[in-house]
Amino acid sequence: MTLNIYDTKDQVAKEFSEYFRDLAMSDQTIHIALSGGSTPKIIFDYLAEHFGSEIDWSKINFYWGDERCVAPTDSESNYKMTVDHLLSKIEIPESNIHRVLGENDPEGEAVRYGQVLETKLPNLNDIPQFDLVMLGMGDDGHTVSIFPDSISLWDSPENCVVATHPDSGQKRVTITGKIVNNSKAVAFLVTGAGKAEKVQEILKKEKDFASYPAHLVQPLHGELIWFLDQDAAKGIQ
Ligand SMILES: O=C(O)[C@H](O)[C@@H](O)[C@H](O)[C@H](O)COP(=O)(O)O
């Protein structure tokens, strides 16, 4: 595991964007699972602005690690957030964008998306393998859309499952731990003071760390890189 701590969220955006650029410079087709929520916004803005014209996006395939079961035009949609902050600013073939179509039939989409991963991605040990899974962490210790109150979903034998947000009841389609931990690389992007307590518990294995899905991110074959700002890392320095 690599732990990178930067002074500001802007620096996290810069450093992750440079990491992404280096990965994208490969001459291979790259498959990346994107995270959602608000943290990626500044990162995608930086990536588009500084490397949007440098990267050959024709080799980059975007998927989502999780998606809210809402229309792609809904302000809650991770796809919409990604369009607004990245996809609308770069030249990427539509066929390289693999949206989660969860707005109508979440259960059916979890099956379909799991099959998309089977057919589109290379596999390792018969499990689809991403080149990079980008993750965020909620202040309750959730990651992708696997929440502490349904942490058992992490160990589902399925590639994707339907989860429910514990507060809003919003349904989400999410990849599971078998996919995350089979990735060649996992980048955890966590910023802000609100995350500091859980970051400390997880990285120092204190208190209730074992009850947080984010603690279960332990890639079997690949690298795990934390990109933190000072605020999120204040409990581990
Ligand atoms: O759909 C989502 O919400 C995410 O994928 C989720 O796992 C997110 O990464 C965390 O909730 C952190 O979200 P913030 O970046 O908004 O704090």
| 52-79 pLDDT, tens digit each | 999 999 999 999 999 999 999 999 999 9
Per-residue pLDDT, averaged over 223-228, amounts to 98
Per-residue pLDDT, averaged over 116-134, amounts to 98
Kindly provide the ipTM of the predicted complex, given to two decimals. Answer: 0.97
Distance in Å, CA 175 to ligand 1 centroid: 14
| Atom of ligand 1 lying closest to residue 64 CA | 5
Separation of CA 3 from chain center:
17
| 43-52 pLDDT, tens digit each | 999 999 999 9
Distance in Å, CA 135 to ligand 1 centroid: 8
Whole-prediction pTM value? 0.98
Provide the pLDDT for residue 162: 98
Distance in Å, CA 59 to ligand 1 centroid: 26
pLDDT averaged over the chain?
Answer: 98
| 156-175 pLDDT, tens digit each | 999 999 999 999 999 999 99
12, 42, 139, 145, best to mutate for ligand 1 pocket (most atoms within 8 Å of CB): 145
CATH fold label, 8-174+214-220: Rossmann fold (3.40.50)
Distance in Å, CA 33 to ligand 1 centroid: 13
SS (H, E, C) the chain: CEEEEECCHHHHHHHHHHHHHHHHCCCCCEEEEECCCCHHHHHHHHHHHHHCCCCCHHHEEEEECEEECCCCCCCCCHHHHHHHHCHHHCCCCHHHECCCCCCCCHHHHHHHHHHHHHHHCCEECCEECCCEEEECCCCCCCECCECHHHHHHHHCCCCEEEEECCCCCCEEEEECHHHHCCCCEEEEEECCHHHHHHHHHHHCCCCCHHHCHHHHCCCCCCEEEEEEECCCCCCCC
Provide the pLDDT for residue 202: 98
Domain ranges of the chain: 8-174+214-220
Provide the pLDDT for residue 189: 98
Provide the pLDDT for residue 16: 98
Nearest alpha carbon, ligand 1 atom 9: 136
Per-residue pLDDT, averaged over 120-136, amounts to 98
CB atoms within 10 A of CB 58: 12
Per-residue pLDDT, averaged over 1-19, amounts to 98
Tokens of 213: 């899905």
Provide the pLDDT for residue 119: 98
